[in-house]
Amino acid sequence: MSSSVRFSKICPTCGRSLQIPVELLGKEICCQGCGAMLRATTPETSKVVNTFEGIDERVDRLIQAADRQLQHASAPTNLL
């Protein structure tokens, strides 16, 4: 049974607003929008970032996440 108590967090890579169950607070989670890994923190426990602050780093992280997904998708599978 999942909790109905959630908190909002903006993905630092793609900027998507995430609704995160409080049970995941402090844990590594994956953004459902871009696949980037991030720590589930609240504004009280992390720095609030302006949407345009650090845009270059966000773009780099998004490209790296896309590269990882592409490598994973194109990896050979053993069907034997």
- Over residues 1-23, the pLDDT tens digits come to 455 788 888 888 898 999 988 88
Q: Which two tokens stand for residue 44?
A: 């009280």
For residue 70, give the amino acid letter. L
Average pLDDT over residues 54-69: 84
**Residue 74, pLDDT above cutoff 70:** yes
Mean pLDDT lowest for which of 41-45, 50-54, 57-61? Answer: 50-54
Rounded CA-CA distance 52/1 in Å is 37
pLDDT of residue 48: 47
Residue with tokens 């109905």: 4
